[in-house]
Structure 1
Amino acid sequence: MTFVMTALFAVFLVLSVPVGYALIIASGTAILWQGGTPTVLAVVKLFQPTQSFPLLAIPFFILSGSLMMSGTLGQKLVAFAANLVGRYHGGMGQVTVVGSTIFGGVSGSAVAEASALGSMLIPWQKREGYPAGFAAAVTASSSTIAGLIPPSIPLILYSTVSNASIASLFSAAILPGLMLAFGFMLVCYFSGRLRGFPRLTDRSQMMGFGKSLVSAAPALAMPFFIIVLLRAGIATPTEVSVIAVFYALVVSAVLYRDLTLARIKDALVGTVITTGVVMLVITASSLVGHVLITERIPALVAAWAQETLGTAVLIILMMNIIMLIVGMFLDLPAAILLLGPTFVAIGAAIGMDPIQMGVMICINLSIGLFTPPIGTTLFIGAAIARVPIGAVVKELWPFYLVAFVVLILMSYVPAFTIY
């Protein structure tokens, strides 16, 4: 069954069939080909994930992020970032990184962040004299920080396939996320200094730091608000996501007074579309998981890795190489749901903490989002900047270097994922 499913899935990807449909058709065909599994059971397996209470957190976190990012708060966040780092070398690139880190604590989605933040900051950087390729590269790479800063949707998906605590995953991913942000800021600083990029010195574009901090405080507080509620056991992840929506409504309506019916409608429509895409992949991965578990693929792969590679160092290296390759062709949610069960089994066999495994997987697959040939944030950044993909990739190599260093540290030094 697994061979038939894999072969069909590869063919459908070459034919540009959407990933969710490709997974359903490939796994469904494999089940029918093998026989022995009642059709009714296959249908039940397909819809079973939709009954998961923790997964309700995904649409609510998406909705809260849409409500907060689409209004005045987005402008306040950019103003805060500009006041914080705009005056330094490569300042406008650093503004993008800081903005991405903060937006990540609001949206939890790298794709949403690249679209929202890129549409504001890429044209701004181009007007100020930054190369279009560099502006797109900063946006494409830094937007992936959203995959680590709470409320990270990839981490929520990983928790569903590993049964790891969402609160622990959120806590463990904060430090790696900040390390990526700091590393990307260093790239912007040295690039700006060596290449003479302009700095933000025009006072008319900046307000006092204290004033900008107060204006952006509601968004800055969001990740800590989520972690405190989860770690203190006050609310479940799903309950926290609902509270986040209420928080976004109050902040927009009371503090910024920019909440309109049109904004609510747009946020709801966007949430439904995004959730539909994610849930299609989740339901499809349930059928794939049934095929893999029926043939004991995770256990067989774990046993093979132990017998062939022997040491944990080589096994972790193998997993990272596989993920880097898969991440170049599959979107992050699909890759997590497909690789997660097998890699969790391998991690358990070598004594790797599932929380460390989750952080490693999210960092690794996030790199795929800005890696050709099918990097989602890479294409978004290039489209907004109106430059060829090749021009953006040339500017990305130092960002890849930073990401790989953080990935290696998270893979081999458990202390960096303390929760």
Structure 2
Amino acid sequence: MNSSVGIMSLILLVLLFLKIPVFVAVLGASVVYFIMTPGINPAVFAQQAITGSESVTLLAIPFFVCAGVLMNYTGVTKRIMDFCSVLTGRMYGGLSQVNILLSTLMGGLSGSALADAAMEAKMLVPEMEAKGIGRAFSTVVTAASSMITPLIPPGIGLILYGCIANVSIGKLFIAGFGPGILLCATMMFMVSKISKKRGYLPLRKEKMTGSMFWTSFKPAILPLCLPIIIIGGVRLGIFTATEAGAVAIVYAAVLGFGYRELGPNEIRQGLKETLMTTSSIMLIVAAASTFSWILTKEMIPQMFTQWMISVIHNKWIFLVAVDIFLIFVGMFVEGNASMIVLVPLFAPAATAYGIDPIHFAMVFIFANAIGAFTPPMGTLMFVTCGVTKCSTKDFIKEAVPFYALLFGCLLILTFIPICSTGLVNIIY
């Protein structure tokens, strides 16, 4: 490893410390490497940045982003929320339970934790406050439940991880259901206990009748079919995970026109949001491609793997160390951005320890998400607090039991691989 790599790493750390956007910091450090390393044509920098973002697999990102945006403009969210209200109506916590279940079901539609957190903070938190639920508790529930979204297919994090680590995106989609359902069930149970203690009453006292269920379920049937169509189509070989994104857009558009809520203005605004979101993600991907090329050329992943194996001799200790490290990194760096640097390093090491790639992917993504929920710079915390005007101090105080729950779920995913791989092994 030559001196230019050391200087590049130092510049990268300085830029990140100065809170420069991650993709700018990575590209800037990469430029220094190409300038300082003799025998390398600087044109390779531009080539890697461009070719890295030209992968056909990456088309899944704008497709699913667009589908999720269009779903929000077609009244789908409101229909699913009404259905969730009926299902959880007799549970303590009222709209808090609706919040958690909505994040789980919307995970198959939006795919972005930050988008889900912002949407539910605007839609549900004011109503939760009106029902007597504290603002800080409502904000924490919204931020915590949004962590389920990237685990449920078609999470953007699943697509990015699959592209960077060369893991089947179809298998990652299916694997995400296990951790997502685990987190949803345990969170609803804990919120029910806390709400009962505080007197956050259910939305209704009467039992759910068949007609009540059907009346709320009927409008939500078609939106809820989207994840089934995606997983079924990919598994049966009807279309690839990338093509599934295009199918999702068509499906969202058909629903919008069918509900008569998707007009020219909504389409224009939806495409604008899609462009903005996709651009930010693809800049990260371009930076990741360049950085990965440098790491590969310098054989850094191989050296890192050898060092890890010489220091840590047990794969379970390795996984716990990765969990702690990713949570720490997630406190300061947005999840998708941290994949640029860390996936090329940790994925080969996990393979060397004999860890299933699907299992490691789920642990990696979930640990990253916990970091986004954690102070001092957790992005989920800042997004929800920014929308609800909740103070960070109150957020952290209310979030203590949620941290315990999240760490517990992470340990379950870490030490019980079947939670991630069981459904994959059955379907594949």
Displacement of 1:396 in angstroms is: 1.3
In structure 2, what residue type is equivalent to 1:304? W
Equivalent residue, structure 2, for 1:376:
379
Displacement of 1:15 in angstroms is: 2.1
In structure 1, what residue type is equivalent to 2:410? L
Counterpart-to-counterpart distance in 1, 2:183 and 2:67: 24
Equivalent residue, structure 1, for 2:31:
28
Whether 1:253 aligns to 2:253 is no
Displacement of 1:198 in angstroms is: 3.0
SS at match of 2:115: helix
Q: Choose the corresponding residue for 1:48, options 36, 46, 51.
A: 51
In structure 2, what residue type is equivalent to 1:114? A
Q: Choose the corresponding residue for 2:171, options 168, 175, 179.
A: 168
Contact 1:28 1:287 in 2 (8 A): no
Whether 1:330 aligns to 2:330 is no
Whether 1:69 aligns to 2:72 is yes
Equivalent residue, structure 2, for 1:14:
17
**1:198-347 correspondence runs (5 A):** 198-201=201-204, 208-254=212-258, 256-347=259-350
CA distance change for structure 1 residues 87 and 295 in 2, over 3 Å: closer, same or farther? same
Equivalent residue, structure 2, for 1:156:
159
Displacement of 1:268 in angstroms is: 0.3
SS at match of 1:252: helix
Q: Choose the corresponding residue for 2:359, options 356, 359, 372.
A: 356
SS at match of 1:74: helix
In structure 2, what residue type is equivalent to 1:29? V
In structure 2, what residue type is equivalent to 1:136? T
* TM-score, structure 2 normalization: 0.94
Displacement of 1:35 in angstroms is: 3.0
Whether 1:389 aligns to 2:392 is yes
In structure 2, what residue type is equivalent to 1:96? N
Per-residue Cα deviation, 1:145-168 (whole angstroms, up to 9, x for no partner): 111101111010011112111111
Displacement of 1:201 in angstroms is: 2.6
Counterpart-to-counterpart distance in 2, 1:83 and 1:127: 19
Per-residue Cα deviation, 1:275-312 (whole angstroms, up to 9, x for no partner): 00001111011121122222211111111111111111
Equivalent residue, structure 2, for 1:179:
182
In structure 2, what residue type is equivalent to 1:5? M
Counterpart-to-counterpart distance in 1, 2:293 and 2:225: 41
- Runs of 4+ residues deviating >6 angstroms: none
Counterpart-to-counterpart distance in 2, 1:36 and 1:326: 34
Per-residue Cα deviation, 1:325-371 (whole angstroms, up to 9, x for no partner): 11111111111232111111011101111111111111110112211
Contact 2:148 2:184 in 1 (8 A): yes
Whether 1:117 aligns to 2:120 is yes
Whether 1:105 aligns to 2:108 is yes
In structure 1, what residue type is equivalent to 2:309? Q
Counterpart-to-counterpart distance in 1, 2:222 and 2:396: 35
Counterpart-to-counterpart distance in 2, 1:152 and 1:235: 18
Counterpart-to-counterpart distance in 1, 2:192 and 2:70: 32
Contact 1:301 1:346 in 2 (8 A): yes
Per-residue Cα deviation, 1:217-263 (whole angstroms, up to 9, x for no partner): 12222212111011111101111100100000011111x22111111
Equivalent residue, structure 1, for 2:135:
132
Contact 1:94 1:188 in 2 (8 A): yes
Q: Give ranges in structure 1 of 5+ residues lacking alignment.
A: none
Counterpart-to-counterpart distance in 2, 1:72 and 1:163: 36
Counterpart-to-counterpart distance in 1, 2:220 and 2:383: 26
Counterpart-to-counterpart distance in 2, 1:349 and 1:42: 30
SS at match of 1:387: coil
Counterpart-to-counterpart distance in 2, 1:30 and 1:390: 41
SS at match of 2:275: helix
Counterpart-to-counterpart distance in 2, 1:406 and 1:219: 29
Whether 1:146 aligns to 2:149 is yes
* TM-score, structure 1 normalization: 0.96
In structure 1, what residue type is equivalent to 2:98? V
Contact 2:11 2:29 in 1 (8 A): yes
Contact 1:135 1:385 in 2 (8 A): no
Contact 2:99 2:142 in 1 (8 A): yes
SS at match of 2:109: helix
Equivalent residue, structure 2, for 1:366:
369
Equivalent residue, structure 2, for 1:408:
411
Displacement of 1:202 in angstroms is: 8.8
Counterpart-to-counterpart distance in 2, 1:124 and 1:416: 35
| Count of residue pairs the alignment pairs up | 416
Per-residue Cα deviation, 1:104-146 (whole angstroms, up to 9, x for no partner): 1101111111111221001111111111001110111111111
Counterpart-to-counterpart distance in 2, 1:377 and 1:315: 27
Counterpart-to-counterpart distance in 2, 1:17 and 1:307: 34
